[in-house]
Amino acid sequence: MENNKLAKYRPYYNKEALGSKLLSSARKAGKKVVYYVMLLYYVLQSTATSMGDKAKIIGALGYFILPVDLVPDVMPVVGYTDDFAALAWCIYSVARNVTPEIKAKATAQVERWFSKGSGMRGSNS
């Protein structure tokens, strides 16, 4: 994606909007989608990540947060397919930034959220 195309998603991406979207839709989206979101979130926080890769991540996370999708999130089973595709493409694009430490942080956060009875409470920091 070009930077001008990413600009339309920028207003949708911020830490609060991401947290809200995850809290409201994580169980429907599934563990894998949430894991990809958390990977990208932690890569975005890294000072080692280039501005170009950060722009890609903001675009993908902005699309995830965006209330209007190609495939509406309310559709059972297929609702998060487009979100997953955007996240997977982004992970592939920025894979060189995904360190073992980032994987561990993302895994730990997802496990906390999806543990029995957790109710998706906790921070994404």
**Number of domains composing the chain:** 1
User: What value does the mean pLDDT take over residues 43-48?
Assistant: 95
Instruction: Flag whether 122 is in a domain.
Output: no
Q: Could you tell me the residue range of the domain that residue 33 belongs to?
A: 3-114
Q: Is residue 73 assigned to a domain?
A: yes
Most confidently modeled of 8-17, 90-99, 108-117? 90-99
Tens-place pLDDT, residues 55-89: 999 989 988 887 665 555 555 556 677 888 889 99
124: in domain: no
Rounded to whole angstroms, the Cα distance separating 87 from 102 reads 16
Domain-located, residue 49: yes
Q: Is the pTM of this model over 0.95?
A: no
Which residue is it, tokens 């209007």? 68
Rounded alpha-carbon distances, angstroms, from residue 57 to 83, 88, 119: 13, 11, 27
Tokens matching residue 110 = 């997802």
